[in-house]
Amino acid sequence: MNNIEQTLSIIKPDAVERNLTDEIKKIFTNNNLNIKESKKIHITKDEASEFYKVHQSKPFYNDLCAYLSSGPIVVMILEGQNAVLANRKLMGATNPKEAEEKTIRKLYGISIDKNSVHGSDSTENAKKEIEFFFKN
């Protein structure tokens, strides 16, 4: 069935600073996820806290927000067939040690916090996250 979706992807500071942006983008485009929008930005800790507020009760929340705002990131709108799930599969498990071979986190992730990429986990959150970074 035809189910073209959009999802939000972020290349996190650990991967941007290691110049992995183009390699990661190639993984998306080689797997039929088109990059509709892309911008390199450096967000504040307050913005990161807003973006990750679903995690506000978690013990790692403060470090996570500090980390996402610690350096430039690349935010992208990916579009393609079942894009939300397709992106999650390409990313691999949250902990790079548990991620499958050839996934982005297995290839490039350093640790559970420096795991190179973010991806929306549902179509509903994808809409919210795209709106967060690409309102007008």
User: Catalytic pick from 12, 25, 105, 118?
Assistant: 118
User: What is the C-alpha separation between 7 and 44, in angstroms, rounded?
Assistant: 22
Binding partner of residue 50 among Mg ion, ligand UDP, none, CB cut-off 5 to 8 Å per kind: none
CA terminus-to-terminus distance, the chain? 31
Decide: 77 and 6 in contact? Cβ < 8 Å. yes
Residues 88-127 that bind Mg ion (CB under 5 A): 121
Compare residues 2 and 6 and give the one whose CB is closer to ligand UDP.
6
β-pair partners for 118: 10
**Residues forming the site for Mg ion (CB under 5 A):** 121
**Residues forming the site for ligand UDP (CB under 6 A):** 55, 60, 64, 94, 112-113, 115, 118, 121
Q: Which residues are catalytic?
A: 118
